[in-house]
Amino acid sequence: LPARVIEANPLYDLTAGKITDQKLPEIPRDNLRLSEQLGQGAFGEVYKGFLSGMSGTEREVAVAVKTLPPLCNEQTELDFFMEAYIIRKFNHPNIVRLLGVCFDDHPRYIVLELLAGGNLKSFLQESRPSENKPSNLIINDLVDLARDIAAGCSYLEKNHFIHRDIAARNCLLTTKGPERVAKLADFGMSRDVYRSDYYRKEGRAFLPIKWMPPEAFTEGIFTTKTDVWSYGVVLWEIFSMGCMPYPGLNNTEVMNFLHIGGRLVAPHSCPQPLYELMLSCWMHRAEERPDFDYILQTLNTISQDTATMLQHPPLVQIPPLC
């Protein structure tokens, strides 16, 4: 591989030139059966699939399979591998599980646990109240979703891992039913189904400007406080039931708006303590933003102390949501 690929990926030397890494469990291709396509990822298609021969169970397990198109360059191949390697390192109920890889041949596969509730943003949009139908969600359901994601982020913070792309589009649900659990499920900074959320910066990487703090898009500074800012935007996405942040503004207008101290307004029927938590995540100075432990504690307090207030379903929206 050319040198630039090697130094660009510190991981490369650990794999001693091989693409596979013994820590990634290799899944025999015959055990994997792909079915319908779930959507288009950054690298290639993502399919629903069925995995057999898992530790003793005869039954097939439903999985999600990320595919890498056969014709791609080494950098893409390594990025694909890197995402699997990263996910494999994590072990938390609010982070998607990696079941294994098929890296022995092309097309390469990454096999993930199937989060059959689909992505959080779509779920919120589908759950909006309408004139003749109040939402099936109550505010406490939204707080539970917020707590799930905050728990996943807190785990990353403890492991000094900066996600760089915390957003509702990158969070998935185990199911749409009341026992739903939300998980961080995309670590590739991948330009998934919501491609339009990424801003092409001088032809280089796409950047999710609307989820980034000023120090990130002006100076390229990424710390755990970057993820805290993004998490604040996810809180806003949750309580606005899946609206696009800064509706009507393009990325450049958002950067200018933030620069003059502008911030997202409180979503309709959002409890004040939650809006205050969002605002604390959007402090201009990164060190003044809370850490995820504080965020988790605050959400737990809100969930317990005001359970009665939270029992109300999200009020039927008078103004159109967004």
Ligand X SMILES: C[C@@H](Oc1cc(-c2cccc(S(C)(=O)=O)c2)cnc1N)c1cc(F)ccc1N1NC=CN1
Residues binding ligand X (CB under 6 A):
38-39, 41, 46, 64, 66, 96, 112, 114-116, 118-119, 170, 172, 185-186, 192-193
User: If you search the block for the tokens 């059966």, which residue do you land on?
Assistant: 33
Closest separation between CB of residue 170 and ligand X, Å? Answer: 4
DSSP β-bridge partners for residue 32: 51
Closest separation between CB of residue 43 and ligand X, Å? Answer: 10
Contact yes or no for 153/184 (Cβ under 8 A): yes
Q: What is the Cα–Cα distance from 276 to 295, expressed in whole angstroms?
A: 11
Q: What is the Cα–Cα distance from 310 to 127, expressed in whole angstroms?
A: 16
Closest separation between CB of residue 72 and ligand X, Å? Answer: 17
Residue type, 122: S
Residue 264, SS3 per DSSP: coil
What length does the chain have? 322
Which C-beta is closer to ligand X: that of 188 or that of 267? 188
Which C-beta is closer to ligand X: that of 170 or that of 317? 170
Which C-beta is closer to ligand X: that of 79 or that of 186? 186
Determine phi and psi for 33, rounding to 5 degrees: -125, 120
Bond prior to 178 in cis (omega within 30° of 0): no
Residue type, 141: D
Contact yes or no for 2/27 (Cβ under 8 A): no
Which C-beta is closer to ligand X: that of 107 or that of 134? 107
The residue with its CB nearest to ligand X is: 39
Residue 187 gets which letter from DSSP? Answer: -
Closest separation between CB of residue 255 and ligand X, Å? Answer: 25
Which C-beta is closer to ligand X: that of 124 or that of 185? 185
Which C-beta is closer to ligand X: that of 116 or that of 221? 116
Q: Characterise 163 by phi-psi region: left (phi > 0), alpha (psi -120 to 50), beta (else).
A: alpha
Q: What is the Cα–Cα distance from 117 to 171, expressed in whole angstroms?
A: 10
| Helix/strand/coil percentages in the chain, nearest 5 | 40, 15, 45
Tokens of 3: 């040198």
Q: What is the Cα–Cα distance from 322 to 317, expressed in whole angstroms?
A: 10
Q: Is the dihedral of CA 271, 94, 43, 189 positive or negative?
A: positive
Which C-beta is closer to ligand X: that of 64 or that of 228? 64
Q: What is the CA radius of gyration of the chain?
A: 20
Active site residues: 165
